[in-house]
Amino acid sequence: MDGTSEENDMREERLENLRNIGIFAHVDAGKTTLSEQMLLKAGKIRILGSVDRGTAHTDTLDVERRRGISVKASCVHLDWKGYRIHLIDTPGHTDFSAEMEESMWALDGAVLVICGVEGVQPQTELLFEAFRANGIPAVLFLNKMDRPGADACQVLDQIHRRLSSHAALAKDTEGLLDVVADLDDGIMARYLEGEEIAEKEIRDTFRIFAQAGKCYPVLTGSALQGEGIEEVLDAVVQCLPGPESGRQHLSGVVFASSRDRVLGRGLWVRLYGGELTARQGVEIPGRLDPATGVQSVVMQKISQIRGLDGEDIGKLYAGEIGIVYGLGHLKVGHVFGNVEELPRRVRPGSFRTPLLRVKVEPDRPEDMEKLRQAAEELSEEDPLLQASYSRTLGELSFHVMGVIQQEILEEMLRTRYDLNVHFSKPSVMYRETIAHETVGFAAYTMPKPCWAVMKFHMVPGRRGSGVRFESVVPVRQIAEGYQHQIQQALPLALQQGRLGWPVTDLELTLVDGNHHQFHTHPLDFIVATPWAIQDGLQRGGSVLLEPILEIRFFLPQDCVGRVMSDVAVMRGRVTDTQSDRERVILTALVPLKDSMDYAVTLAALSGGRASMSVKLNGYEPCPLELGAV
């Protein structure tokens, strides 16, 4: 749509005055309470909801209300001093790292809540690392300053040591100057020459650097008492950037989904470029045919676009967030249009590695069908769950990231579907690769008429490299269309190797083969590809790969010896130790299988004084007998 220049100007202004932000925090730091206060101060709500009474406005699920934690990302907007702020609520537990990543897809800036008493926690560090890796500017809020023991100076000191030296209290002009001088050579030179830098210049420069994610304003207050909230809102509009303009082509991402009784499945879309209009047709991936491995493309029409208040807005512009209906089963993580124009932080799929599988059974066997339907609905909302049902075994299983998610699932099934269930002990999801270089060959030439001959050269890939495929076969030997079919058939062919796990870290080259001018039938290459792959996997031998976690332990001195020996018992190895005045940080690589329950052990052995943060480091070879399916 080319629009008039007046329209364009309006759009530009709209972008400049828009802030898409997320509030992140260590669990219990006060994220929900702060969100409520911001809504209240901006006049969006008139009565304060409360986490403690289970009436918070941003907590949507019943489970969240009853547990008092935010699980599902949701989004509301508020207006502040001529700016519109889209507030994206974000999950606060490491178990939900995938969801946390997803909510980062939609935002341009973040508020990080840190408890003024407990200070910088392992989770705070993880979140901050994620901001830095994704280039997300942030405002830091030291909450709970009303509580005895809250100490802004001490926490600021921790922030400098553990997060960034370029952070300063917003009210401390001297502190701001230190940061600004460090970032700007010109100001540094003038400062060294003894020139007095005007406060306005210091603040303006700081703001510009903050918007670029190079420094961080620190605010203090109490969400519970409603203190310091205006300052947070001011900092959001001043120190966090608006959506970048200038992206012409359609580009956007589905970062969450919800269900509406009338309109069906709603997709929460953040648009980065172009626009989406109601009744516009959009090409989306259709069903994957399990027999052929071919994914069709279908045209679907957007039936309605709604704003965050549920109002019909008809159109979504670049930079905005809205709920799009009519695109059916489209999954969270789907990107619209031109992927190249999406910012670095939108990397759908990068954190979506399910590590555990857990079987679920209804307490009453006759509820199985009901459970199956509930599971289907839930995994439509959260594709990460990947509910799968085996008819032969009569078993239903979910993929989970950890025990907390399992607990929440259990409650969700009870409150929403009136189903009482029990879970098996989670089992690890392994992967596999080949042991040595080999070839995989298939000749599908009988019974005629059929013809598909192909030979792959297969080489074990570098750890973490995934599957790479190329073809060196000329199209006169295997026509382009058939080569394309081979490529399409690969994901399914590699889904289960000789040990029963997905195959990875493999370099595949199509080196030989041919089609037949008369005998080749349209689907012959799709049928034969898995045969050639299986042939190669058999010749190449199997290596079982297990997920390895990088665990960071935050320990009081007297727990270090015990944890070190536990790491060894869990087949792990310590890779780094650091200590500061208060604690020792031990980094270790430990197989998931042996460390699944360690958080509980650690809490017990340290009397709750130690903590740990976990992330997936990668996969490493392990003894074959571990991965018996």
Q: Which residues bind ligand GDP (CB under 6 A)?
A: 25, 27-33, 51-52, 68-70, 92, 143-144, 146-147, 222-224
Strand partners, 315: 277
Based on CB atoms, which residue is closest to ligand GDP, 139 or 493? 139
Based on CB atoms, which residue is closest to ligand GDP, 145 or 269? 145
b/e per residue, 574-583, with b = 16+ CB within 10 A? beeeeeeeeb
Phi, psi of 119 (to 5 degrees): 75, -160
Q: How far is the CB of 111 from ligand GDP (least distance, A)?
A: 11
Residues 6+ apart with CB under 8 A from 45: 36, 39, 57
Q: How far is the CB of 307 from ligand GDP (least distance, A)?
A: 25
Based on CB atoms, which residue is closest to ligand GDP, 70 or 238? 70
Q: Based on DSSP, count helices (H) and strands (E) in the chain, helices before strands.
A: 17, 30
Nearest of 325, 329, 334 to residue 280 by alpha carbon: 325
Place of tokens 């989904």: 257
Based on CB atoms, which residue is closest to ligand GDP, 26 or 207? 26
Q: How far is the CB of 92 from ligand GDP (least distance, A)?
A: 5
Based on CB atoms, which residue is closest to ligand GDP, 53 or 279? 53
In whole angstroms, give the CA distance from residue 136 to residue 555: 29
Three-state secondary structure of 8-28 = HHHHHHHHHCEEEEEEEECCC
Based on CB atoms, which residue is closest to ligand GDP, 235 or 584? 235
Based on CB atoms, which residue is closest to ligand GDP, 22 or 547? 22
Place of tokens 């897809």: 105
In whole angstroms, give the CA distance from residue 553 to residue 602: 9
* 462 burial via Cβ count (<10 Å: 0-12, 13-18, 19+): exposed
Q: How far is the CB of 145 from ligand GDP (least distance, A)?
A: 7
Q: How far is the CB of 269 from ligand GDP (least distance, A)?
A: 25
In whole angstroms, give the CA distance from residue 612 to residue 463: 26
Based on CB atoms, which residue is closest to ligand GDP, 29 or 235? 29
Three-state secondary structure of 66-120 = HHCCCCCCCEEEEEECCEEEEEEECCCCHHHHHHHHHHHCCCCEEEEEEECCCEC
The answer for 378, left when phi > 0, alpha when psi is -120 to 50, beta otherwise, is: alpha
DSSP 148-187: TT--HHHHHHHHHHHT-SSEEETT-HHHHHHHHHHH-HHH
Contact 574, 587 (CB under 8 A): yes
Based on CB atoms, which residue is closest to ligand GDP, 228 or 530? 228
Based on CB atoms, which residue is closest to ligand GDP, 147 or 573? 147
